[in-house]
Amino acid sequence: MFTGLIEDVGSLLAWENQGGEAQLRVRCGFDMGSIALGDSIAVNGICLTVTGMGGDWFAAQVSGETIQRSTFAALRVGATLNLERALPLGGRLNGHLVQGHVDGVGTVERLLPKGRSLEIWFRVPAALGRYIVGKGSIAVDGVSLTVNSVQDSGDGSRFSVNIIPHTQQKTTLAELIVNRQVNIETDILGRYLERLLGPEGRRCGREGGMDEHYLRERGF
Protein backbone atom coordinates (compact mmCIF):
# COMPACT_ATOMS: atom_id res chain seq x y z
CA MET A 1 0.00 0.00 0.00
CA PHE A 2 1.16 3.54 -0.80
CA THR A 3 0.10 7.11 0.00
CA GLY A 4 0.63 8.93 -3.29
CA LEU A 5 3.26 11.19 -1.72
CA ILE A 6 6.26 10.96 -4.05
CA GLU A 7 9.60 10.41 -2.32
CA ASP A 8 11.94 10.68 -5.28
CA VAL A 9 12.01 11.37 -9.02
CA GLY A 10 14.14 8.72 -10.72
CA SER A 11 14.98 7.97 -14.33
CA LEU A 12 14.68 4.93 -16.56
CA LEU A 13 18.12 3.41 -17.14
CA ALA A 14 17.09 0.37 -19.16
CA TRP A 15 14.05 -1.42 -20.60
CA GLU A 16 14.39 -5.01 -21.79
CA ASN A 17 11.49 -6.67 -23.60
CA GLN A 18 10.97 -10.27 -22.55
CA GLY A 19 8.32 -11.94 -24.68
CA GLY A 20 5.37 -9.72 -23.86
CA GLU A 21 6.76 -8.81 -20.46
CA ALA A 22 9.70 -6.57 -19.58
CA GLN A 23 12.44 -5.85 -17.08
CA LEU A 24 13.26 -2.27 -16.23
CA ARG A 25 16.11 -0.65 -14.33
CA VAL A 26 15.55 2.65 -12.54
CA ARG A 27 18.09 5.09 -11.15
CA CYS A 28 16.95 6.52 -7.81
CA GLY A 29 18.15 8.53 -4.84
CA PHE A 30 17.01 6.06 -2.19
CA ASP A 31 19.33 4.73 0.48
CA MET A 32 19.72 1.28 -1.05
CA GLY A 33 20.69 -0.11 2.33
CA SER A 34 17.06 0.36 3.38
CA ILE A 35 15.72 -1.63 0.41
CA ALA A 36 15.67 -5.42 0.10
CA LEU A 37 14.89 -7.81 -2.73
CA GLY A 38 11.14 -8.37 -2.78
CA ASP A 39 10.28 -4.87 -1.54
CA SER A 40 7.54 -2.94 -3.31
CA ILE A 41 8.18 0.41 -5.01
CA ALA A 42 5.56 2.38 -6.94
CA VAL A 43 6.92 3.58 -10.28
CA ASN A 44 4.65 6.22 -11.83
CA GLY A 45 1.91 4.78 -9.65
CA ILE A 46 2.51 1.12 -10.51
CA CYS A 47 3.47 -1.24 -7.70
CA LEU A 48 6.56 -3.21 -8.75
CA THR A 49 8.67 -5.77 -6.89
CA VAL A 50 12.39 -5.17 -6.55
CA THR A 51 14.23 -8.06 -8.25
CA GLY A 52 17.73 -6.58 -8.32
CA MET A 53 19.62 -3.50 -7.15
CA GLY A 54 22.90 -1.64 -7.14
CA GLY A 55 24.38 1.45 -5.54
CA ASP A 56 21.87 3.87 -7.07
CA TRP A 57 19.40 1.70 -8.99
CA PHE A 58 16.86 -1.09 -8.70
CA ALA A 59 15.41 -3.54 -11.21
CA ALA A 60 11.86 -4.87 -11.47
CA GLN A 61 9.77 -7.13 -13.70
CA VAL A 62 6.75 -5.72 -15.53
CA SER A 63 3.92 -8.05 -16.54
CA GLY A 64 2.11 -7.95 -19.86
CA GLU A 65 -1.10 -6.93 -18.07
CA THR A 66 0.66 -3.90 -16.59
CA ILE A 67 2.13 -2.88 -19.93
CA GLN A 68 -1.27 -3.08 -21.63
CA ARG A 69 -3.15 -1.19 -18.90
CA SER A 70 -0.65 1.61 -18.28
CA THR A 71 1.65 4.11 -20.01
CA PHE A 72 4.64 1.78 -19.66
CA ALA A 73 4.44 0.68 -23.30
CA ALA A 74 5.51 4.21 -24.26
CA LEU A 75 8.41 4.50 -21.78
CA ARG A 76 11.79 5.40 -23.21
CA VAL A 77 15.24 5.27 -21.60
CA GLY A 78 15.86 8.55 -19.81
CA ALA A 79 12.21 9.12 -18.87
CA THR A 80 11.68 10.64 -15.42
CA LEU A 81 9.62 8.56 -12.99
CA ASN A 82 7.73 9.22 -9.76
CA LEU A 83 8.92 6.83 -7.04
CA GLU A 84 7.44 5.89 -3.69
CA ARG A 85 8.35 3.07 -1.33
CA ALA A 86 5.56 1.08 0.29
CA LEU A 87 3.93 2.56 3.40
CA PRO A 88 5.38 0.94 6.54
CA LEU A 89 2.93 -0.49 9.07
CA GLY A 90 2.16 2.33 11.51
CA GLY A 91 3.42 5.03 9.13
CA ARG A 92 1.56 8.30 8.68
CA LEU A 93 -1.02 8.39 5.90
CA ASN A 94 -0.67 11.93 4.56
CA GLY A 95 -2.06 11.35 1.05
CA HIS A 96 -4.72 8.68 0.51
CA LEU A 97 -4.69 4.89 0.28
CA VAL A 98 -3.09 4.03 -3.07
CA GLN A 99 -2.72 0.39 -4.08
CA GLY A 100 -0.38 0.85 -6.99
CA HIS A 101 -2.87 -1.05 -9.16
CA VAL A 102 -3.46 1.28 -12.11
CA ASP A 103 -7.01 1.22 -13.51
CA GLY A 104 -6.17 2.70 -16.88
CA VAL A 105 -4.76 5.63 -18.83
CA GLY A 106 -5.88 9.25 -18.94
CA THR A 107 -4.87 12.02 -21.36
CA VAL A 108 -3.89 15.60 -20.58
CA GLU A 109 -6.47 17.88 -22.19
CA ARG A 110 -5.68 21.35 -20.88
CA LEU A 111 -3.16 23.15 -18.63
CA LEU A 112 -4.24 26.43 -17.06
CA PRO A 113 -1.93 28.53 -14.83
CA LYS A 114 -3.76 29.66 -11.68
CA GLY A 115 -1.47 32.07 -9.85
CA ARG A 116 1.56 29.98 -8.82
CA SER A 117 -0.41 26.77 -9.19
CA LEU A 118 -1.40 24.82 -12.29
CA GLU A 119 -4.86 23.50 -13.09
CA ILE A 120 -4.76 20.38 -15.25
CA TRP A 121 -7.71 18.81 -17.04
CA PHE A 122 -7.57 15.12 -17.91
CA ARG A 123 -9.79 13.03 -20.17
CA VAL A 124 -10.56 9.40 -19.23
CA PRO A 125 -12.81 6.66 -20.64
CA ALA A 126 -16.31 6.37 -19.17
CA ALA A 127 -15.29 3.11 -17.48
CA LEU A 128 -12.90 5.12 -15.28
CA GLY A 129 -14.93 8.32 -15.04
CA ARG A 130 -17.72 6.58 -13.12
CA TYR A 131 -15.37 6.20 -10.13
CA ILE A 132 -14.20 9.82 -10.06
CA VAL A 133 -16.04 12.33 -7.87
CA GLY A 134 -15.52 15.99 -7.09
CA LYS A 135 -13.40 16.53 -3.96
CA GLY A 136 -12.54 12.83 -3.98
CA SER A 137 -9.04 11.38 -4.20
CA ILE A 138 -7.23 10.17 -7.30
CA ALA A 139 -3.68 9.08 -8.14
CA VAL A 140 -2.14 10.48 -11.36
CA ASP A 141 1.19 8.86 -12.22
CA GLY A 142 1.30 7.85 -8.57
CA VAL A 143 0.67 11.35 -7.17
CA SER A 144 -2.17 11.69 -4.66
CA LEU A 145 -4.43 14.55 -5.78
CA THR A 146 -7.84 15.99 -4.96
CA VAL A 147 -10.36 16.13 -7.79
CA ASN A 148 -11.62 19.69 -8.30
CA SER A 149 -14.51 18.90 -10.63
CA VAL A 150 -15.82 16.22 -12.99
CA GLN A 151 -17.70 16.56 -16.27
CA ASP A 152 -19.27 13.51 -17.90
CA SER A 153 -20.04 13.08 -21.58
CA GLY A 154 -21.29 10.18 -23.66
CA ASP A 155 -18.03 8.34 -24.21
CA GLY A 156 -15.89 9.58 -21.34
CA SER A 157 -15.28 12.03 -18.54
CA ARG A 158 -13.10 15.05 -17.85
CA PHE A 159 -11.75 15.98 -14.46
CA SER A 160 -9.49 18.71 -13.13
CA VAL A 161 -6.88 18.87 -10.38
CA ASN A 162 -4.79 21.68 -8.95
CA ILE A 163 -1.00 21.25 -8.80
CA ILE A 164 0.61 23.47 -6.16
CA PRO A 165 4.24 24.66 -6.60
CA HIS A 166 5.59 22.06 -4.14
CA THR A 167 4.03 19.21 -6.14
CA GLN A 168 5.36 20.69 -9.38
CA GLN A 169 8.88 20.73 -7.92
CA LYS A 170 8.81 17.27 -6.33
CA THR A 171 7.11 15.20 -9.06
CA THR A 172 7.05 14.79 -12.83
CA LEU A 173 3.65 16.50 -13.20
CA ALA A 174 5.28 19.81 -14.12
CA GLU A 175 6.55 18.09 -17.30
CA LEU A 176 3.05 17.29 -18.57
CA ILE A 177 1.94 18.65 -21.92
CA VAL A 178 -1.34 18.42 -23.82
CA ASN A 179 -2.05 14.89 -25.13
CA ARG A 180 0.50 13.28 -22.77
CA GLN A 181 -0.86 10.07 -21.27
CA VAL A 182 -0.78 9.33 -17.54
CA ASN A 183 -1.53 6.40 -15.26
CA ILE A 184 -4.80 6.72 -13.36
CA GLU A 185 -5.80 4.91 -10.17
CA THR A 186 -9.25 5.76 -8.85
CA ASP A 187 -10.28 5.54 -5.20
CA ILE A 188 -10.74 1.87 -4.31
CA LEU A 189 -13.79 2.62 -2.11
CA GLY A 190 -15.93 3.42 -5.14
CA ARG A 191 -15.14 0.10 -6.80
CA TYR A 192 -15.99 -1.91 -3.69
CA LEU A 193 -19.27 -0.03 -3.23
CA GLU A 194 -20.28 -0.67 -6.83
CA ARG A 195 -19.70 -4.39 -6.41
CA LEU A 196 -21.62 -4.54 -3.13
CA LEU A 197 -24.56 -2.53 -4.47
CA GLY A 198 -24.70 -4.33 -7.82
CA PRO A 199 -25.85 -7.84 -8.80
CA GLU A 200 -22.78 -9.40 -7.20
CA GLY A 201 -24.00 -8.00 -3.89
CA ARG A 202 -26.33 -11.00 -3.60
CA ARG A 203 -23.44 -12.57 -1.75
CA CYS A 204 -24.20 -10.13 1.06
CA GLY A 205 -27.20 -12.27 1.90
CA ARG A 206 -30.03 -10.46 0.12
CA GLU A 207 -31.43 -10.88 -3.39
CA GLY A 208 -30.66 -7.71 -5.35
CA GLY A 209 -27.56 -6.79 -3.38
CA MET A 210 -26.91 -4.42 -0.52
CA ASP A 211 -29.69 -1.85 -0.78
CA GLU A 212 -31.29 0.64 1.63
CA HIS A 213 -33.68 -2.01 3.01
CA TYR A 214 -30.79 -4.39 3.68
CA LEU A 215 -28.93 -1.69 5.63
CA ARG A 216 -32.03 -0.62 7.63
CA GLU A 217 -32.64 -4.23 8.66
CA ARG A 218 -29.20 -4.22 10.23
CA GLY A 219 -29.52 -0.94 12.06
CA PHE A 220 -27.79 1.41 9.64
Mean pLDDT of all residues in the chain? 90
pLDDT in tens, 77-133: 999 999 999 987 766 667 688 899 999 999 999 999 999 999 999 999 999 999 999
Rounded Cα gap, residues 109 and 96, in angstroms: 25
* Total domain count, the chain: 2
Whether pLDDT at 209 is above 80? no
CATH number at residue 187: 2.40.30.20
Answer yes or no: do 53 and 81 share one domain: yes
Answer yes or no: do 77 and 23 share one domain: yes
Q: Which helix (H) or strand (E) holds 193?
A: helix 188-197
DSSP string of 56-75, one letter each residue: SEEEEEE-HHHHHHSSGGG-
Q: Is residue 21 part of a domain?
A: yes
Answer yes or no: do 74 and 116 share one domain: no
Single pTM value for the model:
0.88
Rounded Cα gap, residues 201 and 179, in angstroms: 38
Q: Is residue 201 part of a domain?
A: no
Answer yes or no: do 57 and 117 share one domain: no
Answer yes or no: do 188 and 153 share one domain: yes
Whether pLDDT at 216 is above 90? no
Mean pLDDT of 27-34: 96
Answer yes or no: do 68 and 124 share one domain: no
Of 62, 71, 60, 64, give the one whose Cα is nearest residue 20.
64
Could you tell me the pLDDT band of residue 155, with boundaries at 50, 70 and 90?
Answer: confident
Range of the domain at 18: 8-85
Which pLDDT score, from 0 to 100, does residue 133 have?
93
Of 84, 121, 105, 118, give the one whose Cα is nearest residue 4.
84
Answer yes or no: do 64 and 114 share one domain: no
Contact 25, 56 (CB under 8 A): no
Rounded Cα gap, residues 188 and 211, in angstroms: 20
Answer yes or no: do 49 and 109 share one domain: no
Mean pLDDT of 195-201: 67
pLDDT in tens, 40-73: 999 999 999 999 999 999 999 999 999 999 999 9
Position 207: which residue type?
E
Q: Is residue 213 part of a domain?
A: no
Answer yes or no: do 145 and 184 share one domain: yes
Contact 83, 7 (CB under 8 A): yes
Which pLDDT score, from 0 to 100, does residue 186 have?
95
